[in-house]
Structure 1
Amino acid sequence: MKKILLVSLVVGLAGCGKSEAEKAKYEAEMKELRYNQMAEGFVKSHLKDPDSAQFRGQQGFCGEVNSKNSFGAYTGFKKFIAADKNMIVMEDDLSPQEFRKVWDGVCK
Structure 2
Amino acid sequence: MKLNNFLLISGLIVSGLQSPVSPAAQEVHQSYALSEVQVSAIHEGVRDILKDPESARFGEILAAANGEGAVSACGWVNAKNSYGGYTGDKPFIGLLINGRFVAVFIGDTDADPAVILSLCAENGIKL
TM-score normalised according to structure 1 size: 0.60
Choose the corresponding residue for 1:45, options 45, 48, 57: 48
The residue number in structure 1 matching 2:75 is 63
**Identity across the alignment (%):** 32
State how far apart, in whole Å, the 2-side matches of 1:40 and 1:55 are: 8
CA RMSD after TM alignment? 2.3
Structure of higher CA gyration radius: 1
Counterparts in 2 of 1:23-102, with a 5 A limit? 31-60=34-63, 61-83=73-95, 84-85=101-102, 87-92=103-108, 95=112, 97-102=114-119
Give the helix-richer structure, 1 or 2: 1
Question: 1:77–1:99: structure 2 CA closer, same or farther, 3 Å change rule?
Answer: same
Bigger RCO (CA 8 Å, 6+ sep): 2
Q: CA deviation at 1:65?
A: 0.3
Aligned residues between the structures: 79
On the 8 A contact 2:91/2:116 being kept in 1, the answer is no
Structure with higher strand content: 2
User: Where do 4+ consecutive residues of structure 1 move more than 4 Å?
Assistant: 93-97
Q: Give unmatched runs, 5+ long, in structure 1.
A: 1-27
